[in-house]
Amino acid sequence: MNDPLSRWEEMDRTRLALDARRRRLWIWAVCALAVAIAVNVFLMALFPGARGTPLVLRAASAALAILVVALCLRLNRRMLRENDRLCDEMDALAEEIQRSRKQFTPRAMRRK
């Protein structure tokens, strides 16, 4: 597991898992917005032109959706930083693999 190629493959699997988590995160954000819109539409239909409690419920559902989306944005930013770090490490590892392969080509072996 110490060779560069297997480390690179492990990093690639980690990067792909991170991408899948980001996609699921955005699905949750879109669902939160859809639920908030549905609750607001339902409350508007149930209490047309109402003031007081229905208005507070509508505001609370909208605020909750905004909080969920803000949390998703923050987590997304963290995952993007992790993805960038992984990609940089993978690039460095790929260069190391490329250099090690050049050392063992038939032409390089003849020179030695």
Three-state SS letters, 23-73: HHHHHHHHHHHHHHHHHHHHHHHHCCCCCCHHHHHHHHHHHHHHHHHHHHH
Residue 104 predicted with pLDDT over 80: no
Comparing 15-19, 58-62, 71-75, the range with the smallest average pLDDT is 58-62
Other C-beta atoms lying within 10 Å of the C-beta of residue 36: 20
The structural domain count of the chain equals: 1
Task: Kindly report the pTM of this predicted structure.
Answer: 0.67
Question: What residue numbers bound the domain in which 14 lies?
Answer: 4-111
